Amino acid sequence: LRSGRPGNQSSKEGDGQWLVLERVQAERDYYHKEFTRLRDQLCNIPDHSNEMTSGPACPHDKLEKLLSERDYYHREMCRVRDAAAKTHTDKAALTDMKRQLETKQDEINIL
């Protein structure tokens, strides 16, 4: 790089400016290399959104989702049970809701 300097090469001011320029170029090259490395790492992160398994990837999020689903099935089972007490509702619907509630509870227990 020093051979490409214009003007008087022995000048201290010129040398200082060239040193600053070389330092800035070295920093630019370093940051460009780091940026490229980080970009490549980001590109290599697997995309779980296209996988066959649906739902959140994080165990905490999965637990929250399962708890929410369990609560929904519990509310629905209670609603159907209350409706069954007032009228003669189809017992198959109540049995299905109970089965779904038990399934969600089993999934939560596995975690």
Q: What is the pLDDT of residues 54-104, one digit of tens each?
A: 555 678 888 888 888 888 888 888 887 777 777 665 677 778 888 888 888
Q: What is the pLDDT of residue 32?
A: 86
| For the chain, percent of residues with pLDDT exceeding 90 | 0
- pLDDT class of 5 with cuts at 50, 70, 90: low
Q: How far apart are CA 14 and CA 37, in angstroms?
A: 34
Q: Give the residue extent of every domain in the chain.
A: 2-43, 55-110
Sign of CA pseudo-dihedral 74, 79, 85, 89: negative
Q: How far apart are CA 94 and CA 109, in angstroms?
A: 22
Q: How far apart are CA 10 and CA 29, in angstroms?
A: 27
Sign of CA pseudo-dihedral 77, 83, 85, 88: negative
